[in-house]
Amino acid sequence: MKHTILCSDLDGTMLSTKSDVSEFTISVIQRIKQSTQIILVSARMPKAMTYIQKDLGIEHEPLICYNGALIIKDNAEVFSTIIETAIIEKLNILTAEHSIKLGLYHKNEWYVEESTERVKKEIHHTKVEPIFRKTSVTILDWKTRNIGAHKIMLMGTKNTINGISPILHDKFNSVMNIYRSNDTIIEVTPVAISKLSAIETIIVGNSTLNDVIAFGDNHNDVEMLKHVGCGVAVGNAREEVKNIADYTTLPNTEDGVANFLNLHFKI
């Protein structure tokens, strides 16, 4: 198997724990990185990805952040699109009615109103600390600075997330990608982007999507895996992801990405 570009999701895919890549994964990436471009593709913010990039020794490569809403290379912005503050205001009113808290992200800024178990988990998993302040204050600040959200995280209970999910799709489907990452969290990003669109943005020269091998586990990876040259689902992936993938490898906790590369990349 020969592909010159490798794109991998992080959480539940390349990360063998909630926070880190294993020594085995690092060794495999070291073996192939001279002949294969390694691009990390995640819903995470840049600061929550750069330490992984450093561990893998691929700091010179692009980072696809926020499911494609922000692309960074060498600390410079390659591409950026946001959710406008007017939309965030409407979302804030709706979520307050359903007792759901928001996490607002712009580049390396992360704002939440209070410390909750979910926020503590996010800090632990991503090694990033948020700024605590009222969402209304963040919206006002962003209006002044003429910026918006690369991603918004909706945090609630299983029941409140169940309740608001159809309303979100009804009211905001035309302006947001709405993705339920687990029972208690919905993540939203600007509607015009995806992991696939971001990969297409950074492919250069004579390379095409056929030159890409990609790894993923969740709904937001489906389009990417379906349209690249080789799409690989990890063993812990959702069934919908496995169904469209070309291959299924071991679970992330068993170094599925690294094991697949070790078996199929003959370098």
CATH class of 85-190: alpha beta
The superfamily in CATH containing domain 5-80+193-264 is: HAD superfamily/HAD-like (3.40.50.1000)
Give residue-wise pLDDT tens across range 43-62.
Answer: 999 999 999 999 999 999 99
Residue 234, pLDDT above cutoff 90:
yes
Q: What's CA 23's distance to the chain center, in Å?
A: 22
Rg of the Cα trace of the chain? 18
Give residue-wise pLDDT tens across range 124-160.
Answer: 999 999 999 999 999 999 999 999 999 999 999 999 9
**Would you state the pLDDT for residue 45?**
97
pLDDT over 70 for what percent of the chain? 99
Residue 112, pLDDT above cutoff 80:
yes
Residue 228 — very low, low, confident or very high, per pLDDT cuts 50/70/90? Answer: very high
Question: What is the C-alpha separation between 7 and 206, in angstroms, rounded?
Answer: 17
- Compute how many other C-beta atoms are within 10 angstroms of the C-beta atom of residue 115: 11
Name the strand (E) or helix (H) holding 120.
helix 117-126
Question: Is-contact 186 165, C-beta < 8 A?
Answer: yes
Question: Is the four-CA dihedral 87, 50, 200, 180 of positive or negative sign?
Answer: negative
**Would you state the pLDDT for residue 1?**
64
Give residue-wise pLDDT tens across range 168-201.
Answer: 999 999 999 999 988 999 999 999 899 999 999 9
**Would you state the pLDDT for residue 2?**
80
Domain pair 5-80+193-264 / 85-190, same fold: no
**Would you state the pLDDT for residue 204?**
84
Domain coordinates in residue numbering, the chain: 5-80+193-264, 85-190
Residue 266, pLDDT above cutoff 70:
no
Residue 240 — very low, low, confident or very high, per pLDDT cuts 50/70/90? Answer: very high
Residues marked active site are found at 9
HSE toward the beta carbon, residue 156, CA cutoff 13 A: 19
Residue 265, pLDDT above cutoff 90:
no
Closest CA to 104 of 201, 188, 225: 188
Name the strand (E) or helix (H) holding 262.
helix 256-264
Mean pLDDT of the chain, nearest integer: 95
**Would you state the pLDDT for residue 5?**
96
Q: For residue 192, give Cα distances in angstroms to 100, 149, 223.
A: 25, 14, 14
